[in-house]
Amino acid sequence: MLLVALLLISAPAKTVKMAESGAARVGGMAPAFAGWDLTGQRMLTLAGLLRAPGVAALLVSFARSDCRPCADALPRLWSVAQRHREVQLLLVDVEADREKAQQFAGSMKLEGPALLDKFEQAAKAYGAEQKEMPRTFLIDGNGRVRAIYGLDADDFEKVVEEDLEAARIPLRQ
């Protein structure tokens, strides 16, 4: 009972935003990355995802199958992406086991690209190693980091949508 109370007390009242994480800094260019999708059949790159037709921004979320806060945040990010079709959600699954990553993505019912970061190359560049998860980045169509989210709270979707508007990323609702 004491543990539950401590966890509730330590939960953030507001979404935690950060100025930098790894080599990523708000206002700076997002670190380039490349890797295979969860099937191992398609190479995904930051540049390629940003060039996709209709994409005005990316929400890049670093997660893994055994991260409960990650599993809580992903459906909320997916909800934002569903409301704003110009925003593409990219799951970067940071784990060695491709099958676990596929099961995790399937359990989240996410549609869209998912990258397997088996050796934590992208995670290290973005400061999103396992102990730092969840970590989500809003990247505009020009490749600039517009926001970095550490811990999310009840206001998470609202904060992301406000950041989309502040970045003047075109939104259709």
Tell me, what's the pLDDT at 151? 80
What CA–CA distance (Å, rounded) separates 76 from 51? 24
Report residue 105 as tokens. 């993505």
Contact assessment for residue 103 and residue 92, using Cβ atoms and an 8 Å cutoff:
no
Confidence of residue 3 (pLDDT cuts 50, 70, 90): very low
Confidence of residue 152 (pLDDT cuts 50, 70, 90): confident
Domain boundaries, the chain: 12-166
pLDDT above 90: percentage of residues in the chain? 77
What CA–CA distance (Å, rounded) separates 168 from 140? 9
Q: How large is the average pLDDT for residues 76-95?
A: 94
Summarised one tens digit per residue, pLDDT across range 107-135 is 999 888 999 999 999 999 999 987 888 99
Tell me, what's the pLDDT at 8? 42
168 vs 88: which has the higher pLDDT: 88
Tell me, what's the pLDDT at 2? 45
Beta pairing partners, 57: 87, 140
Give, rounded to a whole angstrom, the gap between the first and last alpha carbons of the chain.
43
The verdict on domain 12-166 having CATH code 3.40.30.10 is yes
Contact assessment for residue 48 and residue 33, using Cβ atoms and an 8 Å cutoff:
no
DSSP string, 104-148: HHHHHT--S-EEE-TT-HHHHHTT--GGG-SEEEEEETTSBEEEE
How many other C-beta atoms lie within 10 A of the C-beta of residue 72? 12
Summarised one tens digit per residue, pLDDT across range 51-81 is 999 999 999 999 999 999 999 999 999 999 9
What CA–CA distance (Å, rounded) separates 98 from 100? 6
Summarised one tens digit per residue, pLDDT across range 31-55 is 999 999 999 999 999 999 999 999 9
What CA–CA distance (Å, rounded) separates 37 from 7? 35
What CA–CA distance (Å, rounded) separates 112 from 43? 14
Tell me, what's the pLDDT at 5? 40
pLDDT above 70: percentage of residues in the chain? 90
Tell me, what's the pLDDT at 172? 43
Q: How large is the average pLDDT for residues 69-96?
A: 94
What CA–CA distance (Å, rounded) separates 25 from 34? 19
